[in-house]
Amino acid sequence: MRIHLVQRARWVLLGVIVLCVVAGIALSWQNARAGNGPGWLRRLAGPPQVLAGRHIGIVAGHSGNDSGTVCIDGLTEASVNRSIADLVVHELTLYGATVDSLLEFDERLLGYQADVFVSIHSDSCQASKEMSGFKVASLEGGSQESGALASCLWKSYAAATGLRPNPNTVTRDMTDYHSFREIAPSTPAAIIETGFLNADRSLLTEHPDRPAHGIVDGIRCFLLPAEGR
Ligand SMILES: [Zn+2]
């Protein structure tokens, strides 16, 4: 009888130990998914799910409507916008966000609600020294959040691409961008011109991952200020 009890106690103890180990592994895994813990475990767990639960809308400028600027050799603004926007959507998804890939005049835009809305465009193909750099705008007189999103994009995009900010060429088409008045006023929104199709072409067409990363970093800066980006 006594031996039987001792054996039972051993099994219970073993069960408790196994449970503790499993719980420890699950906790460490969860931690690593959130971007914390040792480097090897974080690498194993994949990109940190820092944007889980966030809803983001990304417009590939001119998509579904027209070509935008067209260069003499046939390069179109719409194709450049599309490749950058697709990379942005992909990267945001890797971080756990729910992302809508939107057309320029998408029917979902009316009253669109999200944590962030960014429209991606690029600039004219004129050959001129002045025609280089990027710029960002939010609705003139719009919400504080939209202004904060634009500030984050200015900072993060410059850091990721090395392109110079070109605020002097911000147009009314940007500050009064049509979607700003279509989406819900509570949705923080900005538009970015990622660079000029002539002077900044190699960055935009050969290394679209860098502009894309700059935009994702700007969104992270706005949504996750504690990260200090
Ligand atoms: Zn455009």
Q: pLDDT tens across 77-87, in order?
A: 999 999 999 99
* 103 has a pLDDT exceeding 70: yes
pLDDT at 213 (0 to 100)? 98
pLDDT at 162 (0 to 100)? 96
Helix (H) or strand (E) holding 58: strand 55-60
* 2 has a pLDDT exceeding 70: no
* 1 has a pLDDT exceeding 70: no
Distance 55 CA to ligand 1 centre (A): 24
Average pLDDT for 100-107:
98
Here the tokens at position 118 are 């960014």
Q: Which of 189, 180, 177, 184 is nearest to 148 (CA)?
A: 189
pLDDT at 35 (0 to 100)? 75
- 137 close to 144: Cβ distance less than 8 angstroms: no
Here the tokens at position 193 are 């011109």
Distance 185 CA to ligand 1 centre (A): 22
Distance 121 CA to ligand 1 centre (A): 4
Sheet holding 116-123, edge to edge: 98-102, 55-60, 116-123, 189-196, 135-137
Q: How far apart are CA 224 and CA 124, in angstroms?
A: 33
What are the residue ranges of CATH 3.40.630.40 in the chain?
55-227
Q: Which CATH class is domain 55-227?
A: alpha beta
Tell me: the pLDDT tens digits for 60-74?
999 999 999 999 999
Tell me: the pLDDT tens digits for 150-196?
999 999 999 999 999 999 889 888 999 999 999 999 999 999 999 99
Distance 1 CA to ligand 1 centre (A): 84
- 210 close to 115: Cβ distance less than 8 angstroms: no
pTM for this one? Answer: 0.87
Average pLDDT for 11-40:
85
| Sign of the CA dihedral with 31 first, then 36, 38, and 40 last | positive
Q: Which residue has the higher pLDDT, 48 or 3?
A: 48
Say which range, 28-42, 111-125, 167-181, 189-203, has the weakest mean pLDDT: 28-42
Average pLDDT for 83-112:
98
pLDDT at 27 (0 to 100)? 86
Distance 122 CA to ligand 1 centre (A): 6
Distance 69 CA to ligand 1 centre (A): 7
